[in-house]
Structure 1
């Protein structure tokens, strides 16, 4: 079997996890290869995600490493057996590899925790909001290219309403609603859409207001924590201007999870209809809607 020329995030992560197990066990690479009957370069390619690892071989490796975590082994086997093909495959030639990887990762995630400074999170955006952002980002792009971006993001959003429903929790800084990236009417529609989305039982939306007394230190880039069936396979997706970063180390996961909990704790109550109209995230959003409709808002 030849080596892969393009390694997906799932394939890369599978190799990384197998390498972690080997290093934790302290078994020399040469000994591993002798016991399962492969050459050292083959094992190196498996750990780099450049070649496939069958379920039988994966379980043999786990046995050599003395791994008794059945849930983890089963989850790794599922990753190994996955074809990587889904609705996103149709966009492989028109979209960057990083967004294809993100779509596949979102598809398998059991929960999403997202923090955004300046934008509404992609999975919560209206089509008009998307078009404004894509057009501002790529002003020379043809209309059909912009529509391809919009269609791809709209398809990604279906993950929030497809069974099994994942838990989705977003913390959005109030600054996102004051930026002039989009027109006033577009922002009005976006805010109204957030109120609608917040009524779904699996979606929680909070606003971090300018007035928050405490503001925990947090990375400058927006990020999303994507939970997996087992804690060891959780991932942080950090958005960067040029290239997204996928982090799977437990230290990074713990840090971002702690940051998200602190951000949530100083944010306004959830954007839903269970509280009083003038309170929490719902109250702030309705206040912004009123000001925009009256033409008094200094934002978009």
Structure 2
């Protein structure tokens, strides 16, 4: 089997977790390779995600590393056996690898927790809003490229309305609802869409108002925390155009999880749509978006 030239995020993560377990055990790559009947170079390729590892050898290695966490080992086996084949492969030629990795991660996570302070989160955007955002951000893109980008984002959104959807929690800064790169009617429909999405029992949307007493996040960039049924396999996706957008070490996972908890605490209570005949007078997320709809 040839080496992978461009391993996916899932493949790199599997290798990184195996390397973490090996290093925690004190075994060298040569010792681990010898135990599993693999050469040191082969072990290096496994730990960088450049080649696959059979289930039997993976389980043998985790046993040698002293890992007694059966759910973690089973999750690693599942990562290794996953084909990565999904609708997102239709976009490989038109989008960069991190976008494809993001779609696969969204499809497999048990929960999405996100903070956005400039734009409405991608999975909650209307097509009109998407197009306006992409056109403003990529002025040299052709109409066909913009349409392709909108189509990709719409396909990603299906994860929230399909069978067994993940838990979705978004904290959105009020600033995102005042941006004028879209017209008033587009923004009105976008805000109305947020209210409709909040009707889903697995969707929780909070607004962080300008009047919030503090901005507790240490990070000045939007991010998504993807939770896994095995907590150690959570992943943070950071919207950054330069460095790797995926973070998986435990220190970062803890930092971002704590930031989300603080943001959720100071944000307004979640959107809880009322029957159409009722109006919310409470100081909560619904009351704020109703005010924004009034002044648009």
Equivalence for 1:30: 30
Q: Does 1:291 align with 2:295?
A: yes
Shift of 1:2: 1.1
2:217·2:260 contact (CA, 8 Å) conserved in 1? no
Q: Does 1:212 align with 2:212?
A: yes
Shift of 1:242: 4.0
1:125·1:190 contact (CA, 8 Å) conserved in 2? yes
Instruction: Measure the CA separation in 2 of the matches of 1:24 and 1:119.
Output: 40
Shift of 1:243: 5.1
Report the count of equivalent residues.
292
What secondary structure, in the 3-state scheme, does the structure 2 residue paired with 1:68 have? coil
Instruction: Measure the CA separation in 2 of the matches of 1:228 and 1:58.
Output: 20
4+ aligned runs moved over 3 Å, structure 1: 241-244
Greater Cα offset, 142-151 or 125-134: 142-151
What secondary structure, in the 3-state scheme, does the structure 1 residue paired with 2:88 have? helix
Gaps of 5+ in 2: none
Q: Does 1:188 align with 2:188?
A: yes
2:53·2:80 contact (CA, 8 Å) conserved in 1? yes
Instruction: Measure the CA separation in 2 of the matches of 1:143 and 1:243.
Output: 28
CA distances 1:174-199 after superposition (whole Å, capped 9, x unpaired): 00011112111110110010000001
Equivalence for 1:16: 16
Shift of 1:276: 6.6
Gaps of 5+ in 1: 293-300
Instruction: Measure the CA separation in 2 of the matches of 1:215 and 1:139.
Output: 32
CA distances 1:102-134 after superposition (whole Å, capped 9, x unpaired): 000000000000000100000000000000011
CA distances 1:244-269 after superposition (whole Å, capped 9, x unpaired): 51001111111101010100100101
Instruction: Measure the CA separation in 2 of the matches of 1:235 and 1:48.
Output: 17
1:98·1:243 contact (CA, 8 Å) conserved in 2? no
Instruction: Measure the CA separation in 1 of the matches of 2:200 and 2:130.
Output: 21
The TM-score normalised by the length of structure 2 is: 0.96
CA distances 1:142-178 after superposition (whole Å, capped 9, x unpaired): 2111111001000000111122121000000000011
1:278·1:284 contact (CA, 8 Å) conserved in 2? no
Instruction: Measure the CA separation in 1 of the matches of 2:261 and 2:97.
Output: 30
Greater Cα offset, 152-161 or 135-144: 135-144
Shift of 1:53: 1.0
Pairing 1:52-201 to 2, within 5 Å after superposition: 52-201=52-201
Instruction: Measure the CA separation in 1 of the matches of 2:113 and 2:236.
Output: 9
CA distances 1:41-95 after superposition (whole Å, capped 9, x unpaired): 0000000001111111111111111111100000000000000110101111111
CA distances 1:5-37 after superposition (whole Å, capped 9, x unpaired): 111000000000000000011112222122111
